[in-house]
């Protein structure tokens, strides 16, 4: 191996052993184009080489499943011949470098994943993590990312119906921007990406190709960020939502008229990854001529065309006789269409430049024989994360409640959601902060009932205990669906972790995947697909391990979804579920400056699931005026949130006279619910699940039966929940 070759492959992120493997597969040293293609297709972002073996342990079968892992998005049956396709993906490293375009193109990419399987995108959710709100850098990244999400979703006309955001020190240098999309399709419009039919044409649709995004999969998504981040700014893609809207409508019409054999999004690694994956899926070869690719910039080299990650592009396969029809449809939508290659029987990805062969790579070597690594997990012997600063000394429940409501992780998200359009498309029944899950009706699309969707994850609790923290993420998502009467149909995930080559991170990842799998099996919810984002760390150490879970469910009657807020004076308030509050690892523990514990309380998944089913059935029956899961901040925060959301106070009785902080502010996400309804309805619910009568809705404050013990007005609660508004006036 020459010294020049060593320098080349290492600069592209390939190890010496990987380079030697490439040489062995090719039977020669790769040229510059081939090396660039291998470096991207074999990158962590594209190949999942440190996680694929783990992901195989997740349950992927279910009675509602139509399309599982391996496609651009998964899909589940929602009845009446309709399918919901959905997926969540990360755009973390680009957003840390250029937050507006990083977040915007993250939304664009997840939209393409969904319409690549034939589904019309109908909703977007986002899951965001930044450093502490007191950090100027974090506020800059948050402001840019939220603006980017709003810009792309609002411009293309897809509703942003929910999401979450947390602020923690370990995300200071590595923010997380995860985007989830849902799409709706008739069963017969679903399409797979595998290329087929020797002699069929490979056609590039959409935007011209430029140098933006070059190296993104290997430079940004598969390596740790460092002090030279600014130099990586050119690798961040540039989005155009109006171009994507035309491509979207064009692709759906092509599918409706059965013009396409297969369809694939051009995302990470551009043509290199898309063409090789299509060929692998169909057990065929593909020839591409880069001279036929429309370009935005002069003088682009063939390797640049192959690895460009320019946005708003799709790759499709069609029969040659359908090309005229495709061009007519594309012209109507003003979408550029260029035949750039053909399907072959070579089982190779061959790259030509004006007919001259410039690259020849076996598809099997590129995709199927990418090296997969076994992790070497070891639990940490000492704390990985520093204890947060102590900012709360009081043990008075009133002062603690106001401090929690004012904390960045619990304050109102209204300043963020107001930048998004949650109702475009006219399907939204429950949007941001109206209920624990977003609800979208199906009636106008020929369906019955509605779907619900939620996205959840708590990195600090996973950092405490990767197994049980991941279980809690699944349980909380399912609890959110239960609050609106929805049965879970499928789950997608985005696994955001540090460097998997480090034993402690490998242990976090291994345990979290084990927890996700066990929770999904207990709830009988299949994993339909997802994304892995690794190497999220810098000189300051790894992020909190953050598995983000998105879950889709079905409910029979959108009119009976329960809001999160109290809705009727005089209603009885009850707590139900399997709730064993633990202060360790809670939001209160953070404010008190406590170090993270090394484990969380085990959960009885069978009993928890019975409580979920009881609440879900009660909502569907119309018994409950409100339903809200008890999560971050604990029981009293959940009650306060229901007061604020409904504009009604509450009297809580009995009030504990011992160990108040443990009982009121300990956490057990996904395990319990605060519900309200008539006394008769609550008693009917008590026949299904453990339940404690807790108080009554009414008045203009949240108080104990003896106000001398505790009382805080609704005005004070509203004011306290405004820390985000104060940071972004």
Closest CA to 236 of 126, 110, 93: 93
- Of the candidates 45, 50, 173, 628, the residue annotated as catalytic is 45
Write the secondary structure of 57-74 as one string of H (helix), E (strand) and C (coil): CCCCCCCCEEECECECCE
Q: Phi-psi bin for 688: left (phi > 0), alpha (psi -120 to 50), beta?
A: alpha
Question: Token match 């074999």: residue?
Answer: 42
DSSP bridge partners of 84: 76, 184
Q: How far apart are CA 60 and CA 69, in angstroms?
A: 7
Q: Are 422 and 161 in contact (CB under 8 A)?
A: yes
- For residue 406, count other CB atoms closer than 10 A to its CB: 17
Q: Could you write out the DSSP letters of every residue in 417-428? A: HTTS-S-TTS-E
- Specify whether 173 is catalytic: no
> In which residue are the tokens 């065309």 written?
305
Q: Return phi, psi of residue 183, to 5°.
A: -135, 155
Q: Quickly list H helices, 99-235.
A: 99-115, 136-156
Lookup: tokens for 716 = 């004070």
The 3-state secondary structure of 222-250, one letter per residue? CCCCCCCHHHHHHHCCCCCHHHHHHHHHH
Among candidate residues 9, 91, 612, 628, the one labeled active-site is 91
Pairing of strands 285-289, 438-441: unpaired
CA distance 610 to 577: 8
Phi then psi for residue 30, to 5 deg, are: -70, 150
CA-angle at 481, arms to 648 and 104, nearest 5°: 95
Angstrom distance (rounded) from CA 249 to CA 226: 40
> Rounded CA gap, 639 and 655, in Å?
13
C-alpha 162/C-alpha 339 separation (Å) is: 39
Helix H, strand E, coil C: the string for 513-543 is HHHHHHHHHHHCCCEEEEEEECCCEECCEEC
H or E segment at 162? strand 159-167
Residue 146 contacts residue 99 (beta carbons within 8 Å): no
Alpha-carbon 714 to chain mean position: 33
DSSP state of 345: S
**What is the spatial distance between Cα 322 and Cα 324, in angstroms, rounded to a whole number?**
6
3 state DSSP class of 554: strand
Return d(Cα 240, Cα 312) in angstroms, integer: 7
Q: What are phi and psi of 121, to 5 degrees?
A: -60, 130
In the annotation, is 91 catalytic?
yes
Contact assessment for residue 285 and residue 343, using Cβ atoms and an 8 Å cutoff: yes
Query: How much is the CA Rg of the chain, to the nearest whole Å?
Result: 26
DSSP character at residue 144? H
CA distances from 258 to 263, 278, 316 (A): 12, 18, 12
Catalytic annotation, residues: 45, 91
């Amino acid at each position: 191996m020459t010294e020049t070759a060593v320098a080349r492959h290492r600069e592209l992120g390939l190890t010496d052993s990987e380079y030697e493997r490439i040489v062995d597969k090719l039977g020669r040293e790769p040229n510059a184009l081939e090396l660039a293609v291998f470096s991207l297709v074999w990158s962590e972002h594209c190949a999942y080489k440190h996680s694929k073996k783990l992901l195989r342990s997740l349950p992927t079968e279910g009675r509602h499943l139509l399309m599982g892992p391996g496609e651009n998005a998964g899909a589940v049956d929602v009845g009446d011949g309709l399918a919901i396709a959905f997926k969540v993906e990360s755009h973390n490293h680009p957003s840390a470098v250029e937050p507006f375009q990083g977040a915007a193109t993250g939304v664009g990419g997840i939209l393409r994943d969904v319409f690549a399987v034939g589904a019309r995108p109908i909703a977007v959710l986002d899951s965001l993590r930044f450093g502490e709100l007191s950090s100027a850098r974090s506020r800059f990244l948050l402001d840019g990312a939220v603006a980017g999400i709003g810009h792309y979703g609002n411009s293309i006309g897809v509703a942003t119906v929910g999401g979450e955001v947390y602020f923690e020190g370990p995300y200071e240098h590595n923010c997380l921007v995860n985007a989830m999309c849902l799409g709706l399709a008739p069963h017969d419009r679903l399409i797979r990406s595998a290329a087929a039919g020797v002699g069929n044409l490979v056609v590039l649709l959409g935007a011209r190709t430029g140098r933006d995004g070059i190296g993104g999969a290997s430079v940004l998504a598969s390596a740790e960020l460092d002090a030279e981040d600014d130099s990586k700014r050119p690798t961040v893609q540039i989005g155009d939502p109006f171009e994507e809207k035309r491509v979207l409508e064009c692709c759906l019409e092509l599918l409706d008229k059965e013009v396409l054999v297969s369809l694939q999004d051009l995302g990470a690694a551009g043509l290199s990854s898309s063409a090789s994956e299509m060929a692998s899926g169909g057990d065929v070869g593909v020839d591409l001529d880069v001279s036929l690719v429309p370009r935005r910039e002069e003088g682009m080299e063939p390797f640049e065309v192959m690895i460009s990650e320019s946005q708003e592009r799709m790759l499709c396969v069609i029969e040659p006789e359908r090309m005229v029809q495709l061009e007519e449809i594309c012209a109507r939508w003003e979408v550029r269409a260029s035949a750039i290659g053909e399907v072959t029987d070579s089982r190779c990805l061959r790259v030509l430049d004006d007919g001259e062969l410039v690259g020849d790579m076996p598809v099997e070597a590129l995709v199927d024989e990418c090296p997969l690594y076994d992790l070497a997990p070891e639990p940490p012997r000492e704390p990985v994360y520093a204890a947060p600063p102590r900012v709360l000394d009081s043990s008075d429940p009133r002062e603690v409640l106001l401090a929690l409501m004012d904390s960045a992780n619990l304050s109102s998200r209204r300043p963020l959601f107001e930048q998004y359009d949650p109702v475009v498309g006219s399907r939204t029944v429950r949007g941001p902060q109206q209920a624990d899950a977003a609800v979208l009706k199906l009636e106008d699309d020929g369906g019955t009932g509605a779907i619900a969707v939620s996205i959840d994850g708590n990195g600090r609790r996973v950092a405490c205990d990767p197994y049980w923290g991941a279980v809690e993420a699944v349980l909380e998502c399912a609890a959110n669906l239960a609050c609106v009467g929805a049965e879970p149909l499928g789950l997608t995930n985005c696994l955001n972790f540090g460097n998997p080559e480090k034993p402690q991170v490998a242990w976090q990842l291994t345990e979290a995947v084990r927890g996700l799998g066990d929770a999904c099996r207990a709830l009988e919810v299949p994993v339909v697909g997802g994304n892995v984002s690794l190497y999220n760390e810098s000189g300051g150490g790894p992020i909190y391990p953050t598995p983000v879970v998105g879950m889709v469910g079905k409910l029979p009657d959108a009119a009976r979804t329960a809001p999160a807020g109290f809705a009727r004076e005089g209603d009885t308030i009850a707590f139900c579920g399997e709730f064993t509050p633990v202060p360790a690892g809670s939001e209160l523990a953070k404010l008190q400056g406590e170090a993270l514990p090394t484990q969380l309380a085990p959960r009885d998944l069978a009993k928890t699931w019975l409580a979920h089913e009881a609440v879900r059935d009660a909502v569907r029956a119309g018994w409950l005026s409100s339903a809200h899961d008890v999560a971050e901040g604990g029981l009293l925060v959940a009650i306060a949130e229901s007061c604020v959301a409904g504009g009604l106070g509450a009297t809580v009785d009995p009030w504990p006279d011992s160990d108040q902080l443990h009982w009121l502010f300990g956490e057990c996400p996904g395990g319990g619910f605060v519900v309200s309804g008539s006394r008769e309805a609550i008693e009917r619910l008590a026949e299904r699940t453990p339940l404690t009568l807790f108080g009554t809705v009414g008045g203009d404050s949240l108080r104990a039966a003896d106000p001398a013990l505790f009382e805080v007005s609704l005005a004070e609660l509203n004011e306290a929940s405004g820390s985000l508004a104060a940071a972004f006036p």
